[in-house]
Structure 1
Amino acid sequence: MLNTRPSSDVRGQEAGLDVSPSSTAQPKMEVRGLFKTFQVQGKPLMVLQNINFQLHAREFVCLVGASGCGKSTLLNIVAGLDSPTAGQVLVDGEMVAGPGSDRGMVFQGYTLYPWLTVSENIAFGLKLRRLSRAQQQERVNYYLDVVGLTQFAKAYPKQLSGGMKQRVAIARALANEPEVLLMDEPFGALDAQTKEQMQQFLLRLWDQTHTTILMITHDVEEAIFLSQRVYVMSRCPGQLKLEVPITLPAQRDLEIKLTPEFVDIKRQVLHALRDQD
């Protein structure tokens, strides 16, 4: 199960820098020399150029970039929903050739089945994997508790708030116990207050499960608040322009966004986003 808390050597220093076990450890996920070209009106348009990066086990990494820089295209390729023109994506050393249970995906839209209850939505992937009824119920109950929705187990999506719907979507992805959780602007459709609540929730969830997370967002503050490393993408074509280690305490609350350290990191990321030359 994913409820094993990290040991001190994995957790790393309180500063919350890159907590990969060592530079020689096999990465949990790796993107190598990735290119993506689309045909637009009969002409090739390169949207991703020579993308290379790694995620180690139990890391939380964010990709930020302006609209149109190829963030979602990159995440879809990692998820196996699209194919690269060149390059590879590997999870635990195995090449990604399509969608798989080793990668869970959470979209900006809630993508819940309206005719299924909260419990049934969470169990959907487990049924496809032919887990026994007892195994399904055990795992559903566990993740209902993790996301704080046990009392809504029999509710339908229309009876939930936006934040609660996204918690169900996250629980459904985690219930399959993926090696990597992929998140595509998961809080982009929420109002500002609910968005900050969900950011705090996601940090607590990651601290509890410590699954490996790759998240894309255009919200610089969100990326800094949540992650241990931020990659800044340039556009036309999309490239990884800068890697920023997040040198903030591992335990964070919303007040940290007002500290000089946070503001300095935000300034560095914003400068990289503005300088697209």
Structure 2
Amino acid sequence: MPIFQAKNIAQSYEGQAVIDDISIQLEKNEIACLIGTSGVGKTTLFQILSGLHQPTMGHVLLDGHDITGQAGKVSYMLQKDMLLPYRTIEDNIALPLIIKGMSKKKARIKVNSYFDQFGLSGTQKKYPSQLSGGMRQRAALLRTYLFSNKVALLDEPFSALDALTKHEMHQWYLSIMQKIELATLFVSHDIDEAIYLSDKVYVMAGSPGRIVKEIPIIRALQDRDAFSLSPQFLMYKKQLLSYLQ
């Protein structure tokens, strides 16, 4: 059974359909990307998947249990890191645990056990303004993971980074995902990023927005950098562009 499913999701506002008949599923440790032009309804879909909004139709399932309209069951990370400037990195990351009722002392102990694994050693007592963009994203991803260690929804998590930092973060992200086995659905407007990171790509298009294609990414080359320069990578890129158009 997939760890996370959206079944026939539809949403209307004042009688106007925004998204319609959207079905998505994630396996354990799977990385999937959702791409689509601006205004197609990706944010609306993510708000429903995260439980922030109730859909007009359809259901969201986690481990086979219906969690439709229930916030706090899966993690949702927005495009900006949303780190609080007046809290240390340690306390920023501990925030989900404290909200769930854990004492600050216990929350700090728990989050500190992850700092080395997430490449954040030595940043515990620093503030967000003292960290680079890449390090801030690592902190935000760790906070997201601690909120829910099964499924994460990431809204353009790397879009604010420059090209070199983004590539470094991609490599780090893939490495850490192998260790923590977090099923992830992320939004991207970067087709190269979608192909490079994902096990499959969902293409969203139309009005109302629908999933028009699901494309599994099968890599003949294990080295992703080599794969990104291959004819196979270019074939996927052309295919995705054709569906977007």
Measured after TM superposition, the shift of residue 143 of structure 1 is 2.2
The answer (yes or no) to whether the contact 1:103–1:180 under 8 Å persists in 2 is yes
Alignment match, 1:12: none
Q: Which amino acid aligns with 1:143?
A: Y
1:251 and 1:150 mapped to 2: Cα distance? 29
Alignment match, 1:248: 219
Select 1:99's aligned residue among 67, 71, 88. Answer: 71
Alignment match, 1:230: 201
Select 2:238's aligned residue among 251, 264, 267. Answer: 267
Q: Which amino acid aligns with 2:99?
A: L
Measured after TM superposition, the shift of residue 128 of structure 1 is 1.8
Q: Which amino acid aligns with 1:180?
A: V
2:209 and 2:138 mapped to 1: Cα distance? 30
Ranges in structure 1 where 5+ consecutive residues have no aligned partner? 1-25
2:89 and 2:147 mapped to 1: Cα distance? 15
Alpha carbon RMSD of aligned pairs, Å?
Answer: 1.7
1:35 and 1:51 mapped to 2: Cα distance? 7
Alignment match, 1:111: 82
The answer (yes or no) to whether the contact 1:103–1:179 under 8 Å persists in 2 is yes
Select 1:73's aligned residue among 15, 25, 44. Answer: 44
1:131 and 1:249 mapped to 2: Cα distance? 46
When residues 137 and 257 of structure 1 are mapped into structure 2, their CA distance, relative to the original with a 3 A threshold, is same
2:223 and 2:78 mapped to 1: Cα distance? 24
Measured after TM superposition, the shift of residue 73 of structure 1 is 1.1
Q: Which amino acid aligns with 2:207?
A: C
Alignment match, 1:31: 6
Alignment match, 2:188: 217
The answer (yes or no) to whether the contact 1:127–1:136 under 8 Å persists in 2 is yes
2:224 and 2:24 mapped to 1: Cα distance? 28
Select 1:143's aligned residue among 110, 114, 118. Answer: 114
SS of the aligned residue for 2:76 comes to strand
SS of the aligned residue for 1:143 comes to coil
Select 1:197's aligned residue among 156, 168, 173. Answer: 168
Q: Deviations over 1:85-126 (max 9, x none)?
A: 1111111122222211x3112111111111110100111111
SS of the aligned residue for 1:51 comes to strand
1:120 and 1:252 mapped to 2: Cα distance? 37
Alignment match, 1:13: none
Ranges in structure 2 where 5+ consecutive residues have no aligned partner? none
Q: Which amino acid aligns with 1:61?
A: A
TM-score by length of 1: 0.83
Measured after TM superposition, the shift of residue 133 of structure 1 is 5.4
Aligned length: 244
The answer (yes or no) to whether the contact 2:91–2:108 under 8 Å persists in 1 is no
Q: State, as a whole percentage, how many aligned pairs show the same letter.
A: 39
Alignment match, 1:127: 98
TM-score by length of 2: 0.93
Select 2:136's aligned residue among 165, 169, 181. Answer: 165
Q: Deviations over 1:124-178 (max 9, x none)?
A: 1111223355642342123211221111111101111222111111011112343
The answer (yes or no) to whether the contact 2:220–2:227 under 8 Å persists in 1 is no
